[in-house]
Amino acid sequence: MTLPLPMLSTLHAMFPAQSVSTDPAECLVYAYDNSRREAIPEAVVFPAAHEQVVALVRLCREHHVALTARGRGTNTTGASVPVAGGIVASFERMNRILRIDPDNRLAVVEPGVLNADLQAALKPHGFFWAPDPTSAPYCSIAGNIACNAGGPRAVKYGATRDNVLALRAVDGRGEEFRCGKPTTKGATGYDLTRLLVGSEGTLAVITEATLKLTPLASDKRTLRATFVDMAAAAAAVARIMAQPVTPCALEYMDEDALRLARNHAGDSIPEAGAMLIIEVDGETDALPSAVAAISRAAKGDGLIELHAANSESEVTALWAARKALSPALRTLAPNKINEDVVVPVSRVPELIAGLKSISARNSIPIVTFGHAGNGNIHVNLLYRPEDPIQAANAAGCLSAVFDLVFSLDGLLSGEHGIGLAKREFMPRALDSVSLDLMRMIKGQFDPDGILNPGKLLPDVA
């Protein structure tokens, strides 16, 4: 579609010349995200203030033009791809940390602040914000909010939804509102703040966020546990999460992931059927007993070695290898199918066993790693379209993975969201009444359907 001339004139009047572009080359830069899907918008705008966002949404509604809010495009599901064309609003210039309030354990930020920049600003105050996705150096806070991002620390400190206190936003009617308060308790009506977190920009455009902060722990210990196979590692995860000491990270890598990690980090990564990275934080005096409790739970059939990291460099190498896995796998299989399913922790062993069977039946290698402590497993189907057998089996293999997840009382996504990639599976994940209620909520916030259309909710059959 082409934007109406009256709308273009108004758009240029609303935004300074350097804050709006219809140049095809620049629009192409904002046409894709980390899903490698692509759709070119008619225009890109760079809001610098809340009032501009209000005016922009009202203009888009008036002309029935789609509006896609965008952070830094790190999403893997196509959630920020403007499939309906229209306008992309990139929030990279609304990147101020407005306030850090240690007394109330909160920070107020604009949507374009990068996760890592916020963490760096908080550290001198002795605090951190819990969500820590792999993309933290270059993903935005509003992007974290849009897909309810998590990361390794979520096992103890929660995902984004658990760490947002209040939001300022503009709905699809162009009406501005605030939801939530700078308090950690509240019982005053529906919780619109938690509703907006994870809504992928389909309900409202966020212009400010009040975030709950957590004090930095005084000390930390990192353990590495290796096992003969994934079944033994998965059983250890269930035991660790069933005892009272909650680790601040509990990550795992299967045998194939370990091999790739060794290519990245060398001999510091052991050869094994599976490995757990376990971190425990707290006061220094309390850590020995916490480590002992975790160690007892980790021990069991199939354990090869339980090793405590002896230096900061060893800890860094472990985490560097873990965080390099996704890009390494994409290099190995550029068209790999990457899912981030989640199941109850006690059912992780069944998930791992089922995935192994699915891989064998479909002749498609499946590499797994992820946040085992909360059952959020990154399932990578190393699908090669040039292989005729894999090409024929890929769709059925993915469907079988989701069927397995649903049979274990799990969900399609733990932190990546739905976007374009998984919306067709939503009717299998949720009952029809739940989907209808979601569509009605969407209609209340965005009656003309201009906010990020074509995402999250499936079309009505």
- Same domain, yes or no: 105 and 209: yes
Confidence band for 268, pLDDT divided at 50, 70 and 90: confident
Domains: count for the chain: 3
Q: What is the pLDDT of residues 277-314, one digit of tens each?
A: 999 999 999 999 999 999 999 999 999 999 998 888 88
Domain co-membership, 207 together with 102: yes
What spatial distance separates the first Cα and last Cα of the chain, rounded to whole Å? Answer: 26
Q: Return the closest-CA partner of residue 333 out of 240, 425, 260.
A: 260
Please check whether residue 347 lies inside any domain of the structure.
Answer: no
CATH number for 237: 3.30.70.2190
Res. 330 pLDDT band, cuts 50 70 90: confident
Q: Are strands 337-342 and 376-381 parallel, antiparallel or unpaired?
A: antiparallel
Are residues 193 and 227 both part of a single domain? no
pLDDT in tens, 337-368: 889 999 999 899 899 999 999 999 999 999 99
**What is the model's pLDDT at position 1?**
65
3-state class (DSSP) for residue 217: coil
The reply to whether 230 falls in a domain is yes
Contact yes or no for 453/414 (Cβ under 8 A): no
- Mean pLDDT (whole number) for 42-53: 98
Are 369 and 326 contacting, i.e. CB atoms less than 8 angstroms apart? Answer: no
Q: 326 pLDDT exceeds 80?
A: no
Percent of the chain's residues with pLDDT above 90: 86
Could you tell me if 205 and 104 lie in one domain? yes
Claim to verify: residue 101 and residue 209 sit in the same structural domain: yes
Residue 26 lies in a domain: yes
| Residue in 125, 143, 124, 123 with CA at minimum distance from that of residue 134 | 143
Q: Are residues 82 and 154 in the same domain?
A: no
pLDDT at 408 exceeding the cut of 90: yes
Q: Is the pLDDT of residue 323 over 90?
A: no
pLDDT at 317 over 90: no
- Same domain membership, residue 210 and residue 251: no
The confidence score (pLDDT) of residue 421 equals: 92
24-to-86, 251, 320, 442 alpha-carbon distances in Å: 13, 42, 37, 31
* CATH code of the domain in which 123 resides: 3.30.465.10
Please write the tens of the pLDDT for every residue from 81-129.
999 999 999 999 999 999 999 999 999 999 999 999 999 999 999 999 9
DSSP state letters, 237-276: HHHHHHSSPPPSEEEEEEHHHHHHHHHHHGGGSPPSSEEE
Q: What is the average pLDDT across 382-396?
A: 93
My answer on whether 195 and 252 are in the same domain is: no
Check whether 270 has a pLDDT greater than 90.
Answer: no
Instruction: Check residue 264 and give its pLDDT.
Output: 74
Task: Please state the pTM of the whole predicted model.
Answer: 0.94
- Between residues 322 and 20, which one has the greater pLDDT? 20
Domain-ending residue, one of 148, 181, 215: 215
- Domain limits for position 211: 97-215
Q: Which of 322, 347, 370 is the last residue of a domain?
A: 322
Is residue 441 over pLDDT 70?
A: yes
The H-or-E segment that residue 289 falls in is helix 287-298
Percent helix, strand and coil across the chain, each rounded to 5? 40, 20, 35
210 and 224 share a domain? Answer: no
237 lies in a domain? yes
Q: Are residues 44 and 109 in the same domain?
A: no
Residues 229-249: tens digit of each pLDDT: 989 999 999 999 999 999 999
- Is residue 145 in some structural domain? yes
The confidence score (pLDDT) of residue 184 equals 93
Domain contains 72: yes
User: In the predicted model, is pLDDT for residue 256 greater than 70?
Assistant: yes
Instruction: Give the pLDDT band of residue 224 (cuts 50, 70, 90).
Output: very high
Residue 36 pLDDT level (bands cut at 50, 70, 90): confident
End position of a domain, from candidates 290, 307, 322:
322
Chain-wide mean pLDDT for the chain?
Answer: 94
Sheet holding 366-371, edge to edge: 303-308, 219-227, 274-282, 249-254, 366-371, 376-381, 337-342
Cα gap 230→352, rounded to integer Å: 7
pLDDT over 70 at 53, yes or no: yes
Of 33-37, 154-158, 324-328, the least confident: 324-328
Supply the pLDDT for residue 436: 97
Q: Same domain, yes or no, for 185 and 105? A: yes
Mean pLDDT of the 66-82 span: 96
Q: Is 396 part of a structural domain of the chain? A: no
Domain assignment present for 408: no
Q: Is the pLDDT of residue 130 over 90?
A: yes
Looking at the fold, whether 114 and 210 belong to one and the same domain comes out as yes
